[in-house]
């Protein structure tokens, strides 16, 4: 793991995937690259964590997928966020905001 990379805190992977996809459509490895990009290299999602999460999130109805061609002309599964995924992004964002404020407060305490 790189010097500036950090292990994902349990429960943050779904949030980061939902945020990374935004209104676009990305194949799995593209989502991983997007997570790394939006976290400025702090989090790098390994395929062994990414693909099970994508499948679980699709089963939950948060993502929809379809087959297409990647930029190197290989067949790839693309994912997009559903309306339920939009709702879940809001829920998880609110939860993470509450948690991060509590941790910041605890770190400032004497």
pLDDT of 71 reads: 85
- The per-residue pLDDT for range 68-100, each reduced to its tens digit, is 988 888 999 999 999 999 999 999 999 999 999
User: Is residue 64 in a domain?
Assistant: yes
User: Is residue 6 in a domain?
Assistant: no
User: Is residue 55 in a domain?
Assistant: yes
- Give the global pTM: 0.86
11 has a pLDDT exceeding 60: yes
User: Is residue 1 in a domain?
Assistant: no
3-state DSSP of the chain: CCCCCCCCCCCCHHHHHHHHHCCCCEEHHHHHHHHHHHCCCCCCCCHHHHHHHHHHHHHCCCEEEEEEECCCCCEEEEEEECHHHHHHHHHHHHHHHHHHHHHHHHHHCC
101 has a pLDDT exceeding 70: yes
Number of domains composing the chain: 1
**Domain containing 35: what range?**
13-108
pLDDT band at 42 (very low <50, low <70, confident <90, very high): very high
Mean of the per-residue pLDDT values for the chain? 90
Question: Where residue 51 sits, what CATH number does that domain have?
Answer: 1.10.10.10
User: Is residue 68 in a domain?
Assistant: yes
CA–CA distance, 60 with 9 (Å, rounded to integer)? 21
pLDDT of 41 reads: 93
User: Is residue 42 in a domain?
Assistant: yes
User: Is residue 35 in a domain?
Assistant: yes
User: Is residue 7 in a domain?
Assistant: no
């Amino acid at each position: 793991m790189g010097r500036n990379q950090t292990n994902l805190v349990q429960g943050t992977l779904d949030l980061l995937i939902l945020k990374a996809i935004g209104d676009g459509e990305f194949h799995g490895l593209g989502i991983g690259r997007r997570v790394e990009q939006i976290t400025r290299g702090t989090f790098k999602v390994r395929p062994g964590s990414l693909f099970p999460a994508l499948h679980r999130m699709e089963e939950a109805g948060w993502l929809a997928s379809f087959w297409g061609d990647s930029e190197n002309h290989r067949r790839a599964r693309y994912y997009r966020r559903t309306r339920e995924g939009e709702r879940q992004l809001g829920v998880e964002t609110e939860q993470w905001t509450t948690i991060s404020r509590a941790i910041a407060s605890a770190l400032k305490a004497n």
